[in-house]
Chains A and B, each alone.
Chain A
Amino acid sequence: MSNRLLPFYATLLIAVVAYGLCVMQFPNMFSTRVLGNLLTDNAFLGIAAVGMTFVIISGGIDLSVGSVIAFTGVLIAVLVGWYGFHPLVAFAIALLLSTLFGAGMGAIIHYLDVPAFIVTLAGMFLARGLSFVITTDSIPIGHEFYSTIQSLYWRMPGGGRLTVIGGLMLVVFLGGIVLAHFTRFGSYVYALGGNRQSAELMGVPVARTTVLIYALSGFLSGLAGVVFSIYTSAGYPLSAVGVELDTIAAVVIGGTLLTGGTGYVAGTLVGVAIQGIIQTYIVFDGTLSSWWTKIVVGILLFAFIALQRVLVLVSSRKAGALAPA
């Protein structure tokens, strides 16, 4: 079996086993109802995590995700609530801005040659700060378009509801998979994460790809913000704090190497699902507190990073047998 797929299979196994254990304890968890809620509740996280997957595969990181979600949420609420824009127009403006925001960070990362970590940290401060400049309050969104979208769903067999935002997340994942594996852009992203210099020598347009990667992450963070605003019917500058950590965790647990180069968008979906399962379990249990999620996610993070480290060491030992140090 390929080493590259091992973390992915491990994740899948953990997800299945975890779900199995949950179902053994709470048979009710085995229902499309739970599945539907899982999708709806984690839609914004999943969408942002798709963007993060591309960033991390390319060897970077984007800390601005949570702030951009909050910013788009606030922006939409203000545009719709105060200025009377139609939500769809507000969405378009928000997505445009968040995409440009990401592209700007990508350009700084590439042209100033500074670590993505510090640039997106500044982006995180900036986006969060801008949301506060707009408002410090939670602004409810009462547009009828919102209630229409929220009431739309597809009734799955077994009574579960696949909402618009849950469905949107699945579509984004599908799109992400196609983008990663069936476009030239996708191969450039992997190439960048594998080895920048080799990629450059092989003719990969490094500058354009870097900018596009962060623009994509910005766009998907914005889309996550749209989804979050539909999910909560409000815009609040303090929302989605720490979501960047949740998305990074989902990506890593999904089997993507934090050092870049390998990973699967599909794995990220499983990573999101695992976090969702833990939360659902905690809800079903009723006595456990939600902070167990963070601890379990931390443990899983540690386990996966250690597993990947071991795999890298093993394979470099194999390679070392061929080439002397």
Chain B
Amino acid sequence: MISLRRAAPQLIALAVILFLNWLAFPGFFNIRIQDGRLFGSVVDVFNRGAPVMILAIGMTMVIASRGVDLSVGAVMAMAGATAATMTVAGYPLVAVLAAALVVGLLCGLLNGILVAFLDLQPIVATLILMVAGRGIAQLVTEGFIVTFNEPGLIFFGTGSFLGIPMPVVIAAVLGVLAILLVRRTALGLLIEAVGVNRSASTYAGLNSRVLLLFVYTFSGFCAALAGIIATADIRGADANNAGLWLELDAILAVVIGGTSLLGGRFSILMSMLGAIIIQAMNTGILLSGFPPEYNLIVKAAVIIMILLAQSLSLAGAGAFFRPGAKAKPQEPLRSSDPSANKAQNPA
């Protein structure tokens, strides 16, 4: 689906990071099999990166529709809290999983309604759950870190399938399903159309509101799934810290993957690659013996570099520090104004 050439910058970046990791930690590429499961730093990168990969799958579609979902971290906490609490209360695994996923779907639905039908800005709409969600998660766990020992649920965090850690399996399966869903149906095209030009899409007979509702609901679903994995992984629900800042990682993964924050063309696979790049950086910093929080600086640098690169490729070097460029995006609204052509500056 994606050509190697398009993915080249990301693949090169990943290779460089892996190489640096190997320099810092010569055993980086060692993989061993223990108890029928793969172990090793590289496996770890995928395993730790799985929740962000899953979030990034949903986030990709939201961003493609020219939106953003800030609530995914809080939704993770809520879904995790639901799963842990219900497990402790003795509900069967199926009920636990179903309930946690329904929590995510409902949260996504709420975001979708606010964006699509109340026409709220996505940042504003999803901010509400971002703030309230953790409180609700605390409400579910009654303020405690709820721990459990139910092997069925734990399996989703630390189990393995054919030697591959469960989170990786889940992320991969979800990724494949999501790619099939958007590319084997017309959903992908329709979401891209709405993200690029909602007005023209409406003129063409697209139901943009239902499409927006779908992307936010799906994002909520992904967040719930990531929440289940995170909870299963630590065998407990920590409403304060589960999924903390992961919404930002997910957004970053999508941006690294090459999907524009202004909506349009998207690639789920590339976003997942972006998530792996982020995790590879995290792991590298850990292996080098730095505190994990150092990667915040690295992330900041990555964001600034991407912004600079996009700005350069949009405006062309030289036109860079021209404040007059600000008024540009508004002008094409005037129908006959030929200056509207400025907007289609070839990249």
Contacts and interface: CB of A to CB of B under 8 A. Distances in A.
Tell whether any CB of A sits under 8 Å from a CB of B in the complex. Answer: yes
B248 A258 contact: no
Interface string B41-62: 0000000000000000000000
Contact of A309 (B118, B129, B291, B311): B118
A301 B294 contact: no
Interface stretch (B6-14, B151-159, B298-306, B339-347): B298-306
Contacts of B261: 115, 118
Contact of A295 (B123, B135, B303, B304): B135
A110 B323 contact: yes
A198 to B, nearest CB: 11
B130 interface: yes
A294 B300 contact: no
A258 B132 contact: no
B149 interface: no
A128 B303 contact: no
B135 A122 contact: no
B297 A126 contact: yes
B321 interface: yes
Contacts of A290: 143
Contacts of B293: 128-129, 132, 136, 237
Contacts of B206: none
Contact of A129 (B127, B296, B323): B296
Contacts of B137: 291
A291 B321 contact: no
Contacts of B307: 108, 112, 114, 118-119, 122
Contacts, number: 136
A207 B296 contact: no
Interface in A87-136: 108, 110-115, 117-119, 121-126, 128-130, 132-133, 136
Contact of B296 (A128, A136, A245, A309): A128
Given A119-B307, A128-B293, A294 B323 contact: no
The CB with the most chain B CB atoms within 10 A, among A61, A123, A133, is that of A133
A200 interface: yes
Interface centre among B261, B294, B307 (most CB of A within 10 A): B307
Nearest to B118: A309
B303 A291 contact: no
Interface residues of B, number: 52
Contacts of A6: none
Interface string A190-209: 00000011001000001100
A196 B135 contact: no
Nearest to B322: A111
B297 A245 contact: no
B219 interface: no
A301 B124 CA distance: 10
B285 to A, nearest CB: 10
A249 B130 CA distance: 11
Nearest to A115: B261
B131 A118 contact: no
Interface stretch (B225-233, B268-276, B324-332): B324-332
B181 interface: no
Contacts of A299: 132
Interface string A120-158: 011111101110110010000000000000000000000
Given A292-B135, A309-B120, 15 more contacts: A111-B320, A112-B320, A113-B311, A122-B299, A125-B299, A128-B296, A207-B323, A258-B121, A258-B123, A259-B121, A294-B131, A299-B132, A301-B131, A301-B132, A305-B120
7 contacts: A112-B307, A114-B307, A241-B244, A291-B138, A297-B132, A298-B128, A298-B135
